[in-house]
Amino acid sequence: MRFSVSRFWGVQATAVAAMLLGVAAINHLMPGPSLGAASLIAALILAGCAFALYAYRFADEIIFQTDKTAWFWGALAGAVLFAPIAIFANWHLLSVPLVVPSAQDTHAAYFVQGGVLVIVLECAGFAVVRAIQYFSQAKL
């Protein structure tokens, strides 16, 4: 049994939405860093990954290759976009609290926010490439 494109993206969107809502709920219920919150977030991430892998298991070859191409080029573009941000932050032309207002101006904050920023930029790059692929194939 193979998924249609709409069912594949429905399962993927459900996995991402469940993870984001779960993280927001955990941050709301358990403010501040704690081992319990970190454990719950890790469990949510693993559950979301399992849900996404379930969708990939039933995806046809066209969906799989298109998604793989979008992840490669989108993540590459996001990583390349991160380079000037890291350079400007290192030269103190751009501060981490300016990019992420809740961050503190410490070395640990720069490290964590840098790691998070790379992932966010890679995901944004994927979304842009996927949108380009979608609209280039759409009948307008």
Residues 81, 118 within the same domain? yes
- Indicate if the pLDDT at residue 32 is higher than 80: no
- CA-to-CA distance for 44 and 40, rounded, in angstroms? 6
Q: Where are the alpha helices (DSSP H) in 3-139?
A: 5-29, 35-57, 61-90, 96-99, 107-137
Quick one: pLDDT at residue 110?
Answer: 66
Residues 21, 81 within the same domain? no
Domain ranges, residue 68: 60-140
pTM of the model: 0.64
Residues 67, 135 within the same domain? yes
Quick one: pLDDT at residue 108?
Answer: 66
Write down the mean pLDDT value for the chain. Answer: 76
Number of domains in the chain: 2
Residues 41, 86 within the same domain? no
Burial code (b: 16+ CB inside 10 Å, e: under 16) for 65-87 equals ebbeebbebbbebbeeebeebee
Quick one: pLDDT at residue 140?
Answer: 42
| Structure tokens that stand for 103 in this block | 């961050």
Express each pLDDT in 33-91 by its tens digit. 677 777 887 788 788 788 878 877 878 888 888 888 888 998 899 889 888 877 777 77
